[in-house]
Amino acid sequence: MAKVLDGTRCSKCSMGYYARVGERTGGFSGGKAVAGAVIAGPLGIAAGALGKKKVTYKCSKCGYTVEQ
């Protein structure tokens, strides 16, 4: 499972902290699935479809964003 980044230190600037800024559910990444298919075949498509929930975190200091 994805690690929760709320309140953890930014890996980019190491001064700010991540805060949750957005969340996407239900959307499956077509591009990711296609890339997975190229690399891993049908199993890659399944792996792409599993990434349904994406949470976006943003650093309070430098604005660096991370999506998980």
Q: What CA–CA distances, in Å, run from 25 to 5, 13, 33, 52, 53?
A: 17, 29, 16, 6, 5
The vertex-18 CA angle with 9 and 22, nearest 5°, equals 160
Q: How far is the CB of 24 from Zn ion (least distance, A)?
A: 22
Looking only at residues 1 through 60 of this chain, which bind Zn ion when binding is defined by CB under 5 A? 10, 12-13, 16, 59
Residue 16 or 44 having the CB closest to Zn ion: 16
Q: How far is the CB of 21 from Zn ion (least distance, A)?
A: 13
Contact footprint for Zn ion (CB under 5 A):
10, 12-13, 16, 59, 61-62, 64
